[in-house]
A and B are shown apart, each in its own frame.
Chain A
Amino acid sequence: MRHDMLMTYKPIPEERVLEIVDDLFMPLVAAAR
């Protein structure tokens, strides 16, 4: 997210947020449980 913000100076699109949460964060949480 920081990389995207520093590259564009614009808010992160909603689809990018969903991608980060669903493709990166949630699988890591699931794997840790």
Chain B
Amino acid sequence: MVATEVPSFTASVWRATLTMESVAARAKTGVAVLYRRWPRKDDLVLDAIQHYAATHPVEVPDTGSLRGDMIAMLSSFSSVRVSFAAVISAVFSGLLASSGLTPAQVRESSSPTARFGPGRSTAAQPSAARSTSTASPRSSCPCRST
């Protein structure tokens, strides 16, 4: 609940002005509740990034060709994540400065693998796996079961 408030809030307010008090007021909860779960503001922002990624998954379609899959997936990624780009750009510089993390470390800590465990795949992996497991276009293969 609280994590859902942060992305929209940080989109309109520069991260430097984002305080635990302002998040608590917007989420209609107490500051102590926030600090119990997120000891630092950086933890809250990182969790909000993870939450957004988890609740706005990129569709991985099966169009029958690797090229088609990639075009559809990138188009989906573009439309689903574009609003998030504004949020990220607003919070990123402040987050890096105060947390001491590198951009790669932020990406790693907010990746699906970090959130859900090593079994979780990236968005492009299913399409790539389908492509490598079939030598010919799947649309011409009548035996395909899925």
A6–B89 Cα gap in the complex (Å)? 7
Of the stretches B24-32, B77-85, B113-121, the one at the interface is B77-85
- Which among A1, A21, A22, A25 is the interface contact of B78 at CB below 8 angstroms? A1
Instruction: Report which residue of A9, A14, A21 has the largest number of chain B beta carbons within 10 angstroms of its beta carbon.
Output: A21
Q: Which of A9, A18, A21 contacts B85 (CB 8 A)?
A: A9
* A9 CB, min distance to chain B CBs, angstroms: 5
Interface size of B in residues (CB-CB distance below 8 Å):
16
**A contact patch SS:** helix
CA of A9 to CA of B81, assembled, Å = 10
Tell me the complex Cα distance, A20–B67, Å.
11
Residue B34 is within 8 A (CB to CB) of chain A in the complex: no
- Docked complex Cα distance between A26 and B128 (Å): 12
Additional 19 contacts, C-beta under 8 A, given A6-B85, A12-B82, A29-B131: A1-B74, A5-B78, A5-B82, A5-B85, A6-B89, A9-B86, A11-B78, A11-B82, A12-B75, A12-B78, A14-B75, A17-B71, A17-B74, A21-B70, A21-B74, A25-B70, A26-B67, A26-B70, A29-B66
Q: Identify the B interface with A (CB < 8 A).
A: 66-67, 70-71, 74-75, 77-79, 81-82, 85-86, 88-89, 131
